[in-house]
């Protein structure tokens, strides 16, 4: 594996030891970023099931200002740190050991919000849509945030998830990439010309 493009182009990335982590292949990664970028003018990314950290690192290399990497496995986090150093982007990264649910709760407490989120949970888990709705409920997403959901091709997520619409989808053998855009809810408007009372202002 390597960083495909950007400031860290060509830097080699290590794999997580063992067979428990399934890294996104360079071919899929290159296609993915051609759909969502390919380059960025700042912003913050979240790599929620980081594994090797390859997706978040690629985003940093292509112009994201900062990225948060989360994984439950210590050997994955050790690999993320090695790869961040190899790509020379460790100063732009935060790395946490936690499960997805607790990580989202912790990020909410810190008032974090993201422009780009990578969701690549183990294929046995089919809760990508639930995680997306949780992120929306916790105000973890900036308006028009992009969600990259990687899942097995035999499973189909809905085209429209409450608060999100799928903009692209591509199949690469056993892997499918579904791209969603967050549609932030519009503020409440007055009904029949009457003002909506804001009790918090009283």
- Predicted pLDDT at 123: 85
Q: What is the pLDDT of residue 20?
A: 66
Inform me whether the pLDDT recorded for 195 exceeds 60: no
pLDDT of residue 81: 98
Q: What gap in Å lies between CA 137 and CA 139, rounded to an integer?
A: 6
pLDDT tens digits, 131-172: 999 999 999 999 999 999 999 999 999 999 999 999 999 999
Listed range (7-11, 55-59, 167-171, 185-189) with the worst mean pLDDT: 185-189
pLDDT band at 196 (very low <50, low <70, confident <90, very high): very low
Average pLDDT over the chain, rounded to whole? 90
């Amino acid at each position: 594996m390597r960083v495909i493009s950007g400031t860290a182009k060509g830097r080699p990335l290590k794999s997580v030891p063992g067979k428990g982590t399934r890294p996104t292949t360079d071919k899929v990664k290159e296609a993915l970023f051609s759909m969502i970028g390919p380059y960025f003018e700042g912003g913050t990314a979240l790599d929620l099931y980081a594994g090797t950290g390859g997706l978040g690192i690629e985003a940093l290399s292509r112009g994201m200002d900062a990225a948060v990497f989360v994984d439950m496995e210590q050997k994955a986090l050790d690999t993320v740190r090695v790869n961040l150093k190899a790509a020379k982007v460790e100063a732009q990264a935060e790395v946490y050991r936690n499960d997805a649910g607790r990580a989202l709760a912790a990020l909410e407490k810190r008032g974090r919000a993201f422009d780009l989120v990578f969701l690549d949970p183990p294929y046995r888990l089919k809760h990508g849509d639930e995680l997306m709705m949780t992120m929306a409920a916790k105000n973890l997403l900036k308006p028009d945030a992009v969600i990259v959901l990687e899942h097995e091709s035999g499973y189909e997520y809905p085209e429209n998830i409450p608060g999100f619409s799928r903009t692209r989808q591509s199949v690469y053998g056993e892997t499918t990439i579904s791209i969603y855009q967050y549609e932030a809810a519009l503020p409440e408007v007055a009904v029949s010309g009457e003002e909506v009372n804001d009790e918090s202002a009283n």
